């Protein structure tokens, strides 16, 4: 009877039944992973191997029904689980149970400078993905913030490779502990959205290895990412979804990545390159076999019928196919067929609490002259005026693939009203008209933001009411519309849109207790910075946005966030723009745009310090409602052999009158190097929570890697003997203590 039952199960597409001790190795979750993979691979036909390396729908790829190996289901992230769409189309599937919790954007997570928050984020979003039966979460993103006009910066972790690397590892581990794979993206050099399909990155190896690869390497080697997504753009004239240098030489060769490389949707362009240049799983290709939603034509994908035809015709062998199928099987056995797979949970109060905690820690207090914040409502009858469209506009809808369908989203206005209920009267006026629409990919906000009044009328109303308020909170910035913080387009410039500067300038004259809250994932120009006493960077904070902002503005939470990117005074102080190295030069004979990274390693604060350009707000900057005092830094060695570690210690005291957290930052400089090096580079940070009067010794362990640069000629990291300078402080432009040591 055993063969008959197994044969019947295979015929109808169910998993082989476990009878006595005859469970197939590949289905035995207690067997070692590689044994399971090799056993499954040995049972598969060539056609079945082809089937599992390309999409079968918008967001899924086929398993092996004959062997009981399930399909692979992906979902967009990295800030929440995307709603379901139809099988072959982008239109909404119309589910009523696919709402999610929106977590803060990754810029806000990076601004916490707290790996514990990153771990909480990954755990929480991983639980939501598991509950929705998703196998691959398409995120997180760690592309470096090269220019503040990049529309997709809000999905990434800032300008510094060390910070991004330290913050992405706990996120990855948190997600994958649920039996859900991350898909680290977009690998690599995807630093602008304009011309993203045709841009060819021209970059030297030193810049590539020092700035644009470290966060990905950390995600792969330390985080253990199970899948990685290629980028749309090109490098060395090859698209990055099938790129010999990036995928085979670096990712799978130098780094030993054993997971699957997933194409971005529509990122595959050629069967031969896809076969040989490192792509494992193809999604979203608009080939001749599938245009504008034509049904059931996925066999026309580059890694589908065309690949199988080459094998049948003897043009290629099956060595590459076996490697691709092996990597996809690894992903399946690590996720849906893993004994560690969890059931997960969706829209739980624990997840809302996590979103709020992350938002609380990520908000950055940029300026607080006269200690306008936290707001003081010690007397009854006080009035607050809230001004600005972003105080009410839903920000979880729009922006591209990270757009979400949320169960709830607390607006800044509603958050403040709830926090001040019975304490102060809160009134809202429009102030400016931005984007009155509220729809993306079939998800609608349901908000009516239409407005018939003129700009002058709106400003006049705001000014009149501001004169009678105890506090005025302007909530503006960017939104998720095209040419703002949005996929597939870049910003036109650094300035705020919709004439917001006029509104802010008028409010500053009308009320001295003005607080400007900037909602964005990017730096913005602030021509009114000297006239406004209090400025808060509010990011895109997701479902609990209003509650997190209210927590900080009212003083329930002491702000502790720090900027993960530099706010420049103008684009002239951004290397890519100062050197006319954005958005690139179109070739005369093709659509390819060559984009030369002329600024090299001088990105963000590195550029500002090399050119002695004062930023608007520096990388690492962020204020608190308390004060911190730094003692003198010391090193346990004056000379360092490079074979062990050197410890730098600095005492930090909460010298204020309330509990708070400080992010202590350590930078290293090599002033007499044989090559050009930045003035200093971030090589360590710690977030410490201190009670009033409490002192803690903050210790940093420095090894040889923190002293090294990438020697392109030797293709190796190199630390040169000589004197190094360690700088410690609360921001890149606010160094409190330095210590020197020599590398032998």
Catalytic residues: 264
Q: What region, left, alpha or beta, does residue 414 occupy, with left being phi > 0 and alpha being psi -120 to 50 degrees?
A: alpha
Tell me the HSE value of 540 on the side-chain side, using a 13 A CA sphere: 33
- Where are the alpha helices (H) located in 100-160, listed in sequence order? 106-111, 115-131
Here the tokens at position 675 are 């090559």
Distance between CA atoms of residues 583 and 474, nearest Å: 33
For CA atoms 73, 79, 80, 83, give the dihedral sign. negative
DSSP 416-458: HHHHTTTTEEEEEE---------EETTEE--------S-HHHH
Helix (H) or strand (E) holding 39: helix 33-43
Cα 557 to Cα 293: distance, rounded to the nearest angstrom? 49
Helix H or strand E segment including 717: strand 716-718
C-alpha to C-alpha distance for 684 and 165, rounded to whole angstroms = 11
Q: How is the beta sheet containing 471-477 ordered, strand by strand?
A: 364-368, 534-537, 514-519, 471-477, 382-387, 424-429
Spatial separation of the C-alpha atoms in residues 487 and 193, rounded to whole Å:
7
Strand order in 585-586's β-sheet? 238-239, 234-235, 199-202, 593-596, 585-586
- Between CA 153 and CA 160, with CA 154 as vertex, the angle to 5 degrees is 55
Residue 718 CB contacts under 8 Å (≥ 6 apart), including other chains: 708, 709, 710, 711
Q: Is the peptide bond before 686 cis (omega within 30 degrees of 0)?
A: no
């Amino acid at each position: 009877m055993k063969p008959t039952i197994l044969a019947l199960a295979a015929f109808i597409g169910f998993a082989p039944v476990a009878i006595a001790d005859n469970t197939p190795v590949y289905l035995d979750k207690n067997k070692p992973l590689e044994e399971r993979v090799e056993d499954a691979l040995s049972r598969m036909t060539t056609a079945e191997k082809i089937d599992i390396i390309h999409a079968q729908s918008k967001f899924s790829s086929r398993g092996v029904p004959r062997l009981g190996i399930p399909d692979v289901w992906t979902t967009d992230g990295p800030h929440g689980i995307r709603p379901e769409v139809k099988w072959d189309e982008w239109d909404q599937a119309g589910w009523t149970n696919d709402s999610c919790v929106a977590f803060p954007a990754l810029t806000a997570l990076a601004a916490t400078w707290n790996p514990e928050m990153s771990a909480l984020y990954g755990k929480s979003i991983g639980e939501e993905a598991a509950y929705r039966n998703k196998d691959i979460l398409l995120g997180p993103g760690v592309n470096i913030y090269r220019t503040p006009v990049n529309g997709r910066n809000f999905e990434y972790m800032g300008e510094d490779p060390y910070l991004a690397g330290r913050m992405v590892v706990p996120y990855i581990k948190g997600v994958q502990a649920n039996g859900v794979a991350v898909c680290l993206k977009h690998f690599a050099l995807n630093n602008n959205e304009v011309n993203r399909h045709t841009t060819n990155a021209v970059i030297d190896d030193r810049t590539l290895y020092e700035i644009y690869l470290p966060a990905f390497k950390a995600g792969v080697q330390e985080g253990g990412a199970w899948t990685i997504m290629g980028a749309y753009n090109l490098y060395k004239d090859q698209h990055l979804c099938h790129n010999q240098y990036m995928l085979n030489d670096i990712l799978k060769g130098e780094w030993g990545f054993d997971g699957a490389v997933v194409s971005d949707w529509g990122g595959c362009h050629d069967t031969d390159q896809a076969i040989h240049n490192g792509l494992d799983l193809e999604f979203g290709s608009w080939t001749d076999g599938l245009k504008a939603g034509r049904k059931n034509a996925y066999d026309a994908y580059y890694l589908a019928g065309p690949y199988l035809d080459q094998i049948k015709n003897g043009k290629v062998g099956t060595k590459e196919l076996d490697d691709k199928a092996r990597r996809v099987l690894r992903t399946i056995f690590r996720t849906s067929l893993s004994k560690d797979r969890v059931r997960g949970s969706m829209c739980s109060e624990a997840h809302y609490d996590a979103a709020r905690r992350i938002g609380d820690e990520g908000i950055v207090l940029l300026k607080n002259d006269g200690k306008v914040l936290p707001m003081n409502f010690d007397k009854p009858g006080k009035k607050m005026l809230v001004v600005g469209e972003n105080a009410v506009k839903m920000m979880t809808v729009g922006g591209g693939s990270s757009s979400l369908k949320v169960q709830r989203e607390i607006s800044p206005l509603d958050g403040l009203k709830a926090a001040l209920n019975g304490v102060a009267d809160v009134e809202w006026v429009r102030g400016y008209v931005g984007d009155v629409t509220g729809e993306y990919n079939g998800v609608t906000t349901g908000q009516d933001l239409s407005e018939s009044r003129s700009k002058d009328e709106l400003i006049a109303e705001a000014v009149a009411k501001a004169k009678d308020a105890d506090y005025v909170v302007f909530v503006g910035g960017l939104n998720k519309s095209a040419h703002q913080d949005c996929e597939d387009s870049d910003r036109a410039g650094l300035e705020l849109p919709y004439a917001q500067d006029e509104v802010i300038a008028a409010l500053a004259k009308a009320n001295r207790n003005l607080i400007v809250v900037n909602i964005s994932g990017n730096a913005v120009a602030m021509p009114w910075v000297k006239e406004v006493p209090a400025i808060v960077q509010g990011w895109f904070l997701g479902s609990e946005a209003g509650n997190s902002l209210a927590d900080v503005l009212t003083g329930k939470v002491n702000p502790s966030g720090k900027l993960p990117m530099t706010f420049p005074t103008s684009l002239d102080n951004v290397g890519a723009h100062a050197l006319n190295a954005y958005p690139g030069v179109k070739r005369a004979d093709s659509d390819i745009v060559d984009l030369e990274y002329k600024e090299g390693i001088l990105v963000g604060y590195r550029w500002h310090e090399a050119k002695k350009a004062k930023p608007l707000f520096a990388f690492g900057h962020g204020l608190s409602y308390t004060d911190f005092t730094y003692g003198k830094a010391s090193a346990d060695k004056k000379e360092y052999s490079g074979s062990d570690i050197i410890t730098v210690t600095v005492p930090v005291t909460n010298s204020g009158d309330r509990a708070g957290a400080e992010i202590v930052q350590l930078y290293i400089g090599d002033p007499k190097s044989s090559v050009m090096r930045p003035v200093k580079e971030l090589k360590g940070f710690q977030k410490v929570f201190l009670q009033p009067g409490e002192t803690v010794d903050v210790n940093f362990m420095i090894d040889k890697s923190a002293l090294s640069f990438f020697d392109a000629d030797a293709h190796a990291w190199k630390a040169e003997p000589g004197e190094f300078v360690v700088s410690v402080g609360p921001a890149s432009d606010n160094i409190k203590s330095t210590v020197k040591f020599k590398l032998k």
